[in-house]
Amino acid sequence: MRTPADSDALRALRRVLELRAKLNEAIRRFFRERGFLEVDTPVVLPANAPEANIDAVPAGAGWMRTSPELAMKRLLAAGCDKIFQLGPVARAGEHGRWHHPEFSLLEWYRADAGYLEILADTKALLAFLARELRGTTDFTWQGKPVSFAQELWEKAAVSQAFIQHAGWDPALTFAPDRFDLDLVTRVEPALPADRPVVLIDYPAPLAALARRKPDDPLRAERWELYLGGIELANAYSELTDAAEQRARFEQANAAREKRGETPYPLDETFLAALAQMPPSGGIALGVDRLLMILADADSLDGVLPFRNG
């Protein structure tokens, strides 16, 4: 039953709802003008990509998607060379100031491209969206200045950032627990908060679905984007080697079993399609976190009015 308090809260969020509609429209316009095809893939899947630290939400005989990535890569393999998707995903156990169990992802993929081409796309996209929603690339979030201006972006190698702020190189001596702790407590707090910062070339054990650097097998062609201390996006030069991808999925499932968690089935249709997939670049960008900054909200609760219980 609807209560007066519920109605008042939703009326107060009208500005945020209007901003979300404007953001979604601007995203679609940006990609359409650049020749991308918008696609729509299933939200209930028989299998997600097994990842050690991401838990899927059960849905009947399958799971809610944690990402549309596998289906979109099958479209790349089928000849769709520039595609994007804007839609919901779900991940179990994620809730906090920057986390919700259900949220919106923007993913896009380009054939015959890599993670640096995706970085160029991202710079152009964020500058465009800031101008569309805030009228300028330079504005304030929670009283602090931020800029989406392309010329102000910073880029640092993961190894460089860890050596400088944590005193070790995770690509040479990888330790997963130490990496996670130092990333959160030492590296991320040291990143500039007033401009986009890219941490690039992750240690190979954290490649996930990214290819290794051809001239540096200790590192993967992966980057993550931070703004205001918040992770906004995760990008790869995509792995197209089915045998290596299968081995990584099996390794992730083994890590899950070691912690007493259920392993996930492998998507054999996706693995079979990798043989036809061209060299590609792709990215997942958190739309709600981006909206939170553009709407000057202090947490995801301020931009997810229907998902707070």
pLDDT at 99: 85
Q: Does 262 have pLDDT greater than 90?
A: no
pLDDT at 304: 85
Distance CA 268, CA 294 (A): 40
Q: What is the pLDDT of residues 267-277, one digit of tens each?
A: 999 999 999 99
pLDDT at 95: 75
pLDDT at 16: 87
Confidence of residue 4 (pLDDT cuts 50, 70, 90): low
pLDDT at 301: 87
pLDDT at 6: 66
Mean pLDDT of 40-67: 93
CA-nearest of 239, 205, 226 to 289 is 226
pLDDT at 277: 97
pLDDT at 306: 66
Q: Dump the DSSP string for the chain.
A: ---HHHHHHHHHTHHHHHHHHHHHHHHHHHHHHTTPEE----SEES-PPP-TT--PPEETTEEE-S-SHHHHHHHHHTT--EEEEEEEEE-TT--SSS--SEEEEEEEEEET--HHHHHHHHHHHHHHHHHHHHSSSEEEETTEEEE--GGG-EEEEHHHHHHHHHSS-TTTS--HHHHHHHIIIIIHHHS-SSS-EEEEEEEGGG-TTBPEETTEEEEEEEEEEEETTEEEEEEEEBP--HHHHHHHHHHHHHHHHHTTPPP----HHHHHHGGGPPSEEEEEEEHHHHHHHHTT-SSGGGT-TTS--
The Cβ of residue 6 has, within 10 Å, a number of other Cβ atoms equal to 11
Distance CA 21, CA 106 (A): 14
Q: Does 43 have pLDDT greater than 70?
A: yes
Residues paired with 281 in a beta bridge: 110, 237
Q: Does 309 have pLDDT greater than 50?
A: no
How many residues can be counted in the chain? 309
Average pLDDT across the chain, whole number: 93
pTM, entire model: 0.94
Residues in Cβ contact with 143 at an 8 Å cutoff, skipping those fewer than 6 apart:
none
Mean pLDDT of 108-119: 98
Mean pLDDT of 147-164: 96
Q: Does 136 have pLDDT greater than 70?
A: yes
- Do 209 and 70 touch, CB atoms closer than 8 A? no
- Do 157 and 203 touch, CB atoms closer than 8 A? no
Write the Ramachandran bin of 143: left for phi over 0, alpha for psi from -120 to 50, otherwise beta.
left
Percent of the chain with pLDDT over 70: 95
Confidence of residue 9 (pLDDT cuts 50, 70, 90): low
Confidence of residue 159 (pLDDT cuts 50, 70, 90): very high
Percent of the chain with pLDDT over 90: 82
Q: Does 240 have pLDDT greater than 50?
A: yes
Q: Does 122 have pLDDT greater than 80?
A: yes
Q: What is the pLDDT of residues 44-54, one digit of tens each?
A: 999 999 987 88
What domains are there in the chain, each with its CATH number? 4-302 (3.30.930.10)
Q: Does 285 have pLDDT greater than 90?
A: yes
